[in-house]
Each structure stands twice: as C-alpha cells, then as structure tokens.
C-alpha cells in the first residue's frame, strides 16, 4: 500500500519589512472603529459635543449607508486646521501623557475622522467662532473653498465602505442600520439633556429631543427618550451627593481620595432605576455612563443586577439609566478603540457605590408614591434617620419631597425617643404628637384607626377568596396578595435579625420561640442525620429540631414570626437546603436562600381568614418594610386600581 502523500509547502519568498502607507493604516484603524453607519454617527456626535454644541442635527440616507451628515453649532475648526482634522493622530484634545491620563473629552485618539475618510467620501464644512466665513474641505481631493454657513461644523460622510466592499456586505437592511444610528444618538442624548438633538431619515424627522434645562432636565430627557413608562416606573437614584453623604459615611463607602471633596465619596451615582415590575426580557434599556461617556462595563452591569437580586428573580432584565462620576484619573478610558469599555482603578469601590445606590432606591416601599411617581419626579426616603439638626433645620424634608412611609414611621420612632424635638411648631407638616404614637402602635402590630392619618395602602375593606386583601386609599382600590406580602415582611424581619450584631460586634442569632406542643413528623434517615449535624446552624436560624425516635423528628422551637406557619414543611425545606451545604459555611453562603425558604413556609397561607384588624396590621407592616413591593420571588405584592380605571370599567364619565 502507498503511504499517503501530503502537499509540500512551496518555499515562501522572503519579503522586505516596510512601513504601511498612511491610507492603509487608516483603513486598518477604521476596521476597529467603524463597524456600521451607527459607529460613524457616534464618532461625529462625539466631536460635536466636544466642540461645545448646544444643538446636533443628524441626517441620514439609506440607513446611513448612502449619507451621514452631522451638523452642530459648536466652536468650529479654523480654515488652516481643516486638513489637519482629517490626518491620522491629529487632535486638539490632548497634547501629552498627563492629558491622556485625565482626559475629559469624548475623543482623544485623533483618528476617527482619518479612519472614516479612508473608507467613505468625507467633507467638512466649518465656520470657527470669530471667523467671517465658512470653508468646505473635500476629504478626497483636499480642495478647500469658502461657502456660506453659520458658526459650527457639518461633517458629511457618503457611501460608507465604498472602497471596502467586503465590509459593506456585512451591513443589514436600511431599517436595521437606521435603528442602530438612532440608538447611537439616544445614548448621547441621555448623557446630555442640555443639548438638543434631531434625527432625519430620507428627509423625514425621525426623532427630536429638545434641550432641557433646570433641576428636572435629566428626568425630562429620560421621559422624552425612553418614554413615559420609564419615568413612571422608575425611582430616582442618588448616591454620593451632599444629601446622601452622611449615609455613605455610615455605610463605610466614603473615601477621602485626594481631589475628592472632603468626606464626599469618591464615586457619585445618580439617575433612575426601574422598579422590578418594569423589568424586560431583554437588556435593552440599561444605560450606564462614566463621567458622561456611555459605556458597556461588566463591573457596572453586575453591580446594578446584584442590587435587584432580592426583588427580581429569573431572567428578567432591569431597566436603568445610571450616571457614575469619579475623578478622571481613577478611570482609564483608553482601553478600547471605540471607547465603549473603561477600566476602573478600583473597581470594587465603583461596584459597591453602584450597588448601594440602586439598592437604596429600590428598598423603600413605594406605596406612598402611587401618585408622586408620575406627578413629580419623587425620590423615596434614602434610608437615613434624621439627625437633631436635620429636624430643627427642616432639611430632612429634602426639597419638599414627600417622605416614604418607612421613613415616616422611623422618624416617628426617633421623635418618640427625642421628645424635645416634638414641638408643634417644628415646621414639619408630618410631625404631630398624635400621629407619632399612632404610627408606633401600628408598627408594633397594634392596629389603630385614626382619621388624621392617610395611610398609603389605605384601610382594609375585605378579604377576597382567602387570597387577596382589598383596601381603600385616596387613589381608589388597593389589592394585596396577602401571602406574598407577608412572606416579604417575614423575610426582611429575619434578615435584619440575622444581620444585626450584638454590642461586641458578634452576629446575632434569630430569636426563637419554643412551641407549646412540639410538632413531630416522620423523617428520612438523611433528614435525621442533617438535623443532628447542623444543630448550631439551626440554632442561628432560631430553629430547634431534635430526633424523637430513629425515624421521627420533633420541631421544638421556631422564630417568633414563623410560629403560625407550617412547622413540618418548614423543617423539611430547611433540612433539605442544609443537606446540600457544608455546615461551617452554610449560614454565611446560603443565608438569604434559607431565610427566604423559612419565610415562605412561615407566611400566612391562602384561605386563612383574617380579621380587619389583622389585615390593617399587614398593610401597615408593608408600608414600613423595605422591598415590600415584591415578594421573595420577585412577584408584586400589591396593585393599585385607580378610581379612573374603575370609572373606565363602568364607562362612567366624570
């Protein structure tokens, strides 16, 4: 048999090493920077914003493939610098390494226009501030001639990829490319509410966002760009500003970096985070900005997602627009040719700040914002108790924002402990002695009806099918899933007990309550073994399960708040979870899962008849419990049906 033959490589002729021609270098750079028309739009709008534009107009033909024109009213380019703008590595934005390390402009690489000019027909028309006339530079021929134009610059890019047809084949339909272009401008628009934007396609106005000013500029822009739903279904995030500073210090996130305001956190985070209900199946409404630049960053995405951990389950994607600001020297933007990625000097610090900011915004119960969310851009209570000086100066009622009910009740407790501050003339609309004690009583689970107080979740009316509580509030009807709501309340209570530390800084165990009559149940050998092996872990959880016989276990004690639940089911589920873990790490690692399981079995079951008092007590507890808008599995616990919606149901005009 013949041995197989392999083709023999022909000897490669050695070629001399040469420098590449400028054009080819630019085309290689273009391969990294320009993927599709939207990349050109991004670069040109970046340049317009760097030039101080207040209005940017984008015109497109055929999804941007035939023409992209971006016009601005910025400070323009001097005629004798026009040719330079198209040169590789020519920029007005940085001059040395120090500038690069603290860059605050969108551009700095000095290659975008050169790259674009190498793969399309480019022209720049510009009139610099202080000049009498405008000049047009043809990027292909280098011809320069005077033309008429007001201050600012228009860059036109025609026939993208005309010289690299292979690349052109990768483009999708015009409609898809247009959508990408619009998204590119949207990213800029969210980052710069103070600048007006307009997008035209084939002579038709596709989007227009007018410049916004004033305190609500960002909210207005978010509404204009992402729609009313986003604004109405999101909560203001604010971390690291003067208001939130004391809170950051308390949580150990404050960091006195050189250059940062004394005592202010090194990282500031603001914007809006969607409520869990607003989550989507795709991650298409997640906008993160670092020092004004839109970025896709794993640290930020993870931090934001982890803030939803406890309220959003499964594969739902939260929506948010978050703006992160930190010292320019603490973030490296020179990581990726398109600058969409950044590298943080201390990513842990940024992760913590973002997570904390979003978590805080989500924690406060939203019951009292039924109206406020849409009416005003309300910020919920930020989680810190008022200090004596806050109260006497009235500054705790920040910018007249309504305080959330959890905040109200906690303040009431604070006032109870500081009677000197309870003066009638404290200037605070909600500080009235009568209310204080009522709020306290309600928190203690002692329902009291008071005409004076308007409870956000209203007054209980009835129970429906043993599942729902119906209540009446100022807006109309409130429907509460009683098991889901109670489950969250119990879960949060268990969590805070376990997270609390004693005066020596040791973690607390959950207070348990012996059962009058131990509950025994037939157990598997594995369950018995687990109960014996995990006595300490169970004690930390406030649970006592001891073997009664070789095949029987007895539940002897449970946390007080779970005493009404199904002891057998609870014991079985906890043992099943414990069996999967190593005893030494179980509480630290699986704490929340364990507590959530316990809460699920400890919460009121369907078909338990509740008295009106019990229903009201549950509503009051919801108002005072963090994250009570979702159950432990991320489902909503309550819904508002407004009078308007009820009227519509009955075709009733008003």
Ligand X SMILES: Nc1ncnc2c1ncn2[C@@H]1O[C@H](COP(=O)(O)OP(=O)(O)OP(=O)(O)O)[C@@H](O)[C@H]1O
Contact residues toward Mg ion (CB under 5 A) are 46-47, 107, 112
Question: Among 112, 237, 358, 531, which residue sits at the site for ligand X (rule: CB under 6 A)?
Answer: 112
Residue with tokens 């050998």: 525
- What is the C-alpha separation between 225 and 287, in angstroms, rounded? 12
| 110 lies in the site for ligand X, by CB under 6 A | yes
| 107 lies in the site for ligand X, by CB under 6 A | yes
Which residue, 67 or 490, has its beta carbon nearer to ligand X? 67
Q: Give the burial class of 177: count Cβ atoms within 10 A of its Cβ; 0-12 exposed, 13-18 middle, 19 or more buried.
A: buried
Which residue, 72 or 174, has its beta carbon nearer to ligand X? 72
| 487 lies in the site for ligand X, by CB under 6 A | no
Partner from ligand X, Mg ion, none binding residue 48, C-beta < 5-8 Å depending on class: ligand X
| 544 lies in the site for ligand X, by CB under 6 A | no
Partner from Mg ion, ligand X, none binding residue 456, C-beta < 5-8 Å depending on class: none
Contact 585, 561 (CB under 8 A): no
Partner from Mg ion, ligand X, none binding residue 92, C-beta < 5-8 Å depending on class: ligand X
CB of 89 to Mg ion, least distance (A): 12
Which residue, 109 or 627, has its beta carbon nearer to ligand X? 109
Residue with tokens 């396609």: 201
114, two tokens: 């050169």
Partner from Mg ion, ligand X, none binding residue 219, C-beta < 5-8 Å depending on class: none
Residue whose C-beta lies closest to Mg ion: 107
Which residue, 322 or 333, has its beta carbon nearer to Mg ion? 333
DSSP state of 151: S
- What is the C-alpha separation between 168 and 154, in angstroms, rounded? 24
DSSP string, 406-446: HHHHHHHHHHHH-GGG--TTSS-TT--HHHHHHHHHHHTT-
Partner from ligand X, Mg ion, none binding residue 153, C-beta < 5-8 Å depending on class: ligand X
| 153 lies in the site for ligand X, by CB under 6 A | yes
Partner from ligand X, Mg ion, none binding residue 51, C-beta < 5-8 Å depending on class: ligand X
Question: Among 36, 109, 495, 620, which residue sits at the site for ligand X (rule: CB under 6 A)?
Answer: 109
Which residue, 63 or 107, has its beta carbon nearer to ligand X? 107
Question: Among 26, 47, 234, 628, which residue sits at the site for ligand X (rule: CB under 6 A)?
Answer: 47
Residue with tokens 């069996």: 579
The neighbour count for residue 84, using CB atoms within 10 Å, is 14
Which residue, 91 or 286, has its beta carbon nearer to ligand X? 91
Which SS3 state, helix, strand or coil, does residue 609 take?
A: coil
- What is the C-alpha separation between 623 and 267, in angstroms, rounded? 31
Buried-exposed string 430-444: b where 16+ CB fall within 10 A, e elsewhere = bbbeebbebbbebbe
CB of 292 to Mg ion, least distance (A): 14
CB of 508 to ligand X, least distance (A): 54
Which residue, 73 or 487, has its beta carbon nearer to Mg ion? 73
Which residue, 149 or 459, has its beta carbon nearer to ligand X? 149
The region of 39-47, 139-147, 173-181, 485-493 touching ligand X under the rule CB under 6 A is 39-47
Partner from Mg ion, ligand X, none binding residue 109, C-beta < 5-8 Å depending on class: ligand X
Which residue, 123 or 621, has its beta carbon nearer to ligand X? 123
Partner from ligand X, Mg ion, none binding residue 91, C-beta < 5-8 Å depending on class: ligand X
Q: Give the burial class of 517: count Cβ atoms within 10 A of its Cβ; 0-12 exposed, 13-18 middle, 19 or more buried.
A: exposed
| 520 lies in the site for ligand X, by CB under 6 A | no
- What is the C-alpha separation between 198 and 224, in angstroms, rounded? 12
Which residue, 83 or 515, has its beta carbon nearer to Mg ion? 83
Which residue, 94 or 235, has its beta carbon nearer to Mg ion? 94
| 26 lies in the site for ligand X, by CB under 6 A | no
| 51 lies in the site for ligand X, by CB under 6 A | yes
Residues 66-95: x/- map of binding to ligand X (CB under 6 A)? ------x-x-xx-------x-----xxx--
Partner from Mg ion, ligand X, none binding residue 617, C-beta < 5-8 Å depending on class: none
- What is the C-alpha separation between 557 and 539, in angstroms, rounded? 9
- What is the C-alpha separation between 147 and 256, in angstroms, rounded? 54
CB of 105 to Mg ion, least distance (A): 8
Torsion angle defined by CA atoms of residues 263, 267, 272 and 274, in that order, rounded to the nearest 10 degrees: -110
- What is the C-alpha separation between 411 and 102, in angstroms, rounded? 43
Per CB under 6 A, contacts with ligand X among 219-278 are: none
Contact 183, 38 (CB under 8 A): yes
Partner from ligand X, Mg ion, none binding residue 294, C-beta < 5-8 Å depending on class: none
Which residue, 85 or 619, has its beta carbon nearer to ligand X? 85
CB of 46 to ligand X, least distance (A): 6
Sheet holding 152-158, edge to edge: 144-147, 134-138, 121-127, 152-158, 67-72, 55-61, 196-201, 204-209
Question: Among 38, 113, 184, 266, which residue sits at the site for ligand X (rule: CB under 6 A)?
Answer: 113
| 137 lies in the site for ligand X, by CB under 6 A | no
181, two tokens: 């272009």
| 156 lies in the site for ligand X, by CB under 6 A | no
> Total binding residues for ligand X by CB under 6 A?
22
Buried-exposed string 535-559: b where 16+ CB fall within 10 A, e elsewhere = eebbebbbbbbeebeeeebbbbbbb
Q: Which residues contact 304 (CB under 8 A, 6 or more apart)?
A: 273, 286, 288, 318, 320, 322, 354, 355, 358
Measured CA distances, 625 to 454, 485, 615, 628 (Å): 17, 10, 15, 6
CB of 84 to ligand X, least distance (A): 7
| 383 lies in the site for ligand X, by CB under 6 A | no
Contact footprint for ligand X (CB under 6 A): 43, 46-48, 51, 72, 74, 76-77, 85, 91-93, 107-114, 153
């Amino acid at each position: 048999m013949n041995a197989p033959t392999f083709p023999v490589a022909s000897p490669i002729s050695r070629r001399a090493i040469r420098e590449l021609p400028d054009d080819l270098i630019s085309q290689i750079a273009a391969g990294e920077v320009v993927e599709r028309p939207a990349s050109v739009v991004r670069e040109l709008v970046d340049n317009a914003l760097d030039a101080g534009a207040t209005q940017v107009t984008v015109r497109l033909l055929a999804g941007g493939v035939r023409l992209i024109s971006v016009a601005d009213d910025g400070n323009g380019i001097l005629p004798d610098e026009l040719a330079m703008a198209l040169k590789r590595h020519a920029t007005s934005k940085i001059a040395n390494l120090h500038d690069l390390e603290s860059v605050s402009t969108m551009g700095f690489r000095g290659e975008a226009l050169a790259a674009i000019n190498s793969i399309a027909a480019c022209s720049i028309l510009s009139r610099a501030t202080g000049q009498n006339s405008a000049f047009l530079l043809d990027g292909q021929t280098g011809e320069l001639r005077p033309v008429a134009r007001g201050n600012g610059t228009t860059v036109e890019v025609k026939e993208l990829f005309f010289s690299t047809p292979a690349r052109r084949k990768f483009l999708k339909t015009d409609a898809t490319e247009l959508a990408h272009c619009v998204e590119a401008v949207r990213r800029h628009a969210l980052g710069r509410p103070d600048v007006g934007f307009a997008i035209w396609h084939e002579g038709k106005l596709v989007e227009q966002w007018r410049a916004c000013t004033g305190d609500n500029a960002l909210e207005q822009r978010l509404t204009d760009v992402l729609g009313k739903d986003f604004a109405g279904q999101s909560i203001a995030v604010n971390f690291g500003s003067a208001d939130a500073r004391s809170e950051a210090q308390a949580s150990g996130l404050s960091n006195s970096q050189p250059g940062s305001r004394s005592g202010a956190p090194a990282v500031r985070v603001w914007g809006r985070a969607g409520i869990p209900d607003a989550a989507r199946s795709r991650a298409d409404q997640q906008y993160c900005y670092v020092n004004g630049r839109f970025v896709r960053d794993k640290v930020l995405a993870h931090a934001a997602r982890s803030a939803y951990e406890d309220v959003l389950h499964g594969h739902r994607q939260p929506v948010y627009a978050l703006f992160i600001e930190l010292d320019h020297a603490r973030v490296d933007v020179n990581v990726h040719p398109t600058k969409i990625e950044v590298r943080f000097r201390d990513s842990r610090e940024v992760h913590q700040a973002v997570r904390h900011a979003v978590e805080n915004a989500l924690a406060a119960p939203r019951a009292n914002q039924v109206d406020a969310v849409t009416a005003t851009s309300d910020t919920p209570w930020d989680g810190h108790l008022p200090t004596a000086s806050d109260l006497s100066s009235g500054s705790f009622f920040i910018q007249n924002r309504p305080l959330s009910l959890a905040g109200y009740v906690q303040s009431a407790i604070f006032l109870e402990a500081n009677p000197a501050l309870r003066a009638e003339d404290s200037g605070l609309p909600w500080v009235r002695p009568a209310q204080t004690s009522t709020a306290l009583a309600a928190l203690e689970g002692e329902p009291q009806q008071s005409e004076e107080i308007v409870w956000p979740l209203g007054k209980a009316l009835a129970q429906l099918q043993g599942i729902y509580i119906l209540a009446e509030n100022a807006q109309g009807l409130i429907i509460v899933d009683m098991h889901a709501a109670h489950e969250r309340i119990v879960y949060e209570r268990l969590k805070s007990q376990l997270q609390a530390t004693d005066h020596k800084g040791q973690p607390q165990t959950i207070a348990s309550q012996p059962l009058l009559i131990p509950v025994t149940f037939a157990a598997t050998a594995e369950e018995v073994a687990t109960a014996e092996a995990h006595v300490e872990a169970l004690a930390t959880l406030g649970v006592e399960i001891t073997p009664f016989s070789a095949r029987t276990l007895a539940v002897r004690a449970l946390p007080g708040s779970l005493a009404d639940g199904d002891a057998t089911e609870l014991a079985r589920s906890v043992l099943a979870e414990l069996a999967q873990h190593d005893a030494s790490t179980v509480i630290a690692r699986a704490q929340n899962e364990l507590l959530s399981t316990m809460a699920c079995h400890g919460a009121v079951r369907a078909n338990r008849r509740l008295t009106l008092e019990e229903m009201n007590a549950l509503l009051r507890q919801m108002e005072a419990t963090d994250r009570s808008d979702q159950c432990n599995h991320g489902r909503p616990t309550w819904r508002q049906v407004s009078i308007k919606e009820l009227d519509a149901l009955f075709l009733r005009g008003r």
